Amino acid sequence: MSQLVPTLPQWWTAPIAAAWARSRDAAVRDWAVRGDRSCSENVPILEHALAFGHGARSAYPHLDSWQTVSPYLRADWMRMGNVGIASWDQVAHIIEHEWRRAAGPGGDASPASPTS
């Protein structure tokens, strides 16, 4: 069975990491309520996908629709070596969920968000 490769995308920065640290618990709680529960069994992969989706909102602020940003994110995700149960096809819906949540009320992934 393939495992998650614990790498970060090239666009992961200290401000993105700080925003994720502030939002992690809310993102996981939101997924537990609104997400696909069958995908919640592998917590490291779930959290990695949520973090990626959250950070992507800040990394690609000029791309404002999922249809526009998803090809870039797919390439980034695959470049990071995520395969098997962590492949794009398995986690794209998790990434999209957090990408959308991060920009909504209570999300702090917009470029205008404070970084401290």
Q: Nearest Cα to 64, choosing from 109, 23, 11, 14?
A: 109
How large is the angle between the packed helices 88-103 and 66-79, nearest 10 degrees?
130
Tokens coding 60: 């690609």
Tokens coding 38: 């069958």
- Contact criterion met (CB below 8 Å) for 23 and 109: yes
pTM for the model: 0.85
- Contact criterion met (CB below 8 Å) for 7 and 42: no
pLDDT in tens, 60-74: 999 999 999 999 999
pLDDT in tens, 24-82: 999 999 998 888 776 667 888 999 999 999 999 999 999 999 999 999 999 999 999 99
